[in-house]
Each structure stands twice: as structure tokens, then as C-alpha cells.
Amino acid sequence: SILMERGLFLYNFKNLLKAKGRRETYLCFVVKRRDSATSCSLDFGYLRNQMGCHVEVLFLRYIAAWDLDPGRCYRITWFTSWSPCYDCAQHIASFLRSYPNLTLRIFMARLYFCEDRKAEPEGLRRLHKAGAQIAIMTFKDYFYCWNTFVENREQTFKGWEGLHENSVHLARKLRRILLPLYEVDDLRDAFKILGL
């Protein structure tokens, strides 16, 4: 099926602050071609990690095989259960530099941080600097995914307890990660002056 099972979506995309046991990353995608003021949907669906290959790299291989027309503009939107790891962020940033006619928006359910390596924040900053628009999923994004990618049997999406609060918390964390370093230094100086 091109659509994801309801339980699979709810389990993997739940925006828990501590999501132990959720080891796979799922990526729902929409690819559109922009023609002046209108856009045309070319493809949509979902992918998950495969043995030895992260889902972001799988998608980049998939879209690279399309042989995109350099004279046209494309917009890709991802909804991912986890933010990209450092290595995947590097691959995505490199891909975006190779395709200046392509824009990428990434909406993430949760932020991934490898315990062995604290490089993920730097990866997200580099990804943002390469032009990717990155944000945390909100109720509106979950609602869209439910109606676009999930075999929902016409059931209305109902959020879980804590969805909004967790989205706000994760969005603040992401905003702090993406703050330019000089702004972070300015904030530290201001806190020192205030004695905080």
C-alpha cells in the first residue's frame, strides 16, 4: 500500500520528548514542480530506513534518479519521525547545493541526538544554512499527514495528550540550535551582565 497503517504512523510519529525504543525513521514526502504561480504534484508516499541505509539517503537516491530538469523549480516536503543525524544532514546539504532549483522543507516529529556524538546540532545548522527549511511538526502537520499518507479509513485525526506542549518545547529547542552563534554569544553576555 502507498499509505501507512494508522498504528505505524501513530507509534513512529508521536512527538514524545523521550521516545525510547523507536529506532526507525519514517519519512513521508511530497514532490511538486512549480510552474510560475501554480504547482503540480509529481509524487508522494513514505519510506523508512532500510538495513544499513538511513531513509534520508534512500530518498536522495530516489530523487536523483529522476534526472530533474534544471530549468524547472521543484519543491520537496518531508515529514520525518526523527530529525536527520549529522551524516545525513551533510548529505542533504550537499544535495541541495547540487540542485539550486530545488527547495526542501523538513517537518520533524522529534529531534535526534546521538549519545556518542553531539554533532547533530551542528548538522542541523549546516542543513539550515544550505537552504533547507526545517521545523518541528505541529497539530496542523499531523492532521495533513493523517489525511495524506495514512490509511485512516476516513477517521478524523485526534491528537494525543501532550502533542501541543511537546511541539512547543521541541520548536524552542530547535530555534536555540539554529540561532546564529553570534546571537548565542550576545545572549550569554547579556545573562552575565544581569548576573544570571
pLDDT tens digits for range 50-93: 988 999 999 999 999 998 888 999 999 999 999 999 999 999 99
pLDDT at 40: 84
pLDDT at 194: 77
Q: Does the structure show a pLDDT above 90 at 45?
A: yes
Write a three-state SS string for 91-143: HHHHHHHHCCCEEEEEEECCCCCCCCCCCHHHHHHHHHHCCCEEEECCHHHHH
Of the candidates 82, 77, 130, which has an alpha carbon nearest to the alpha carbon of residue 106?
A: 77
pLDDT at 83: 95
137 touches 169 (CB < 8 A)? no
pLDDT band, very low/low/confident/very high, at 23 (cuts 50, 70, 90): confident
The average pLDDT across 119-148 equals 94
For residue 194, the tally of other CB atoms under 10 A from its CB is 7
Q: Does the structure show a pLDDT above 60 at 145?
A: yes
pLDDT at 1: 59
Look up 165 and say whether it is catalytic. no
pLDDT at 193: 78
Active-site pick, 24, 56, 122, 183: 56
Which of 167 and 35 is assigned the larger pLDDT? 167
Which of 193 and 15 is assigned the larger pLDDT? 15
Q: Does the structure show a pLDDT above 70 at 189?
A: no
Q: Does the structure show a pLDDT above 90 at 159?
A: yes
- 171-187 pLDDT tens trace: 999 999 998 755 555 65
- 108-126 pLDDT tens trace: 999 987 655 577 888 999 9
Q: DSSP secondary structure string, the chain?
A: --SEEHHHHHHHH---SS-TT----EEEEEEEEEETTEEEEEEEEEEE-BTTB-HHHHHHHHHHTT---TTSEEEEEEEESSPPPHHHHHHHHHHHHH-TTEEEEEEESS----SS---HHHHHHHHHHTT-EEEE--HHHHHHHHHHHEE-TTPPP-PPTTHHHHHHHHHHHHHHHHS-HHHHHHHHHHHHHHT-
pLDDT at 179: 84
Fold assignment, 6-194: Cytidine Deaminase; domain 2 (3.40.140)
Average pLDDT, the chain: 89
* Angle in degrees, 0-180, between the axes of helices 120-129 and 86-98, rounded to the nearest 10: 10
pLDDT at 157: 95
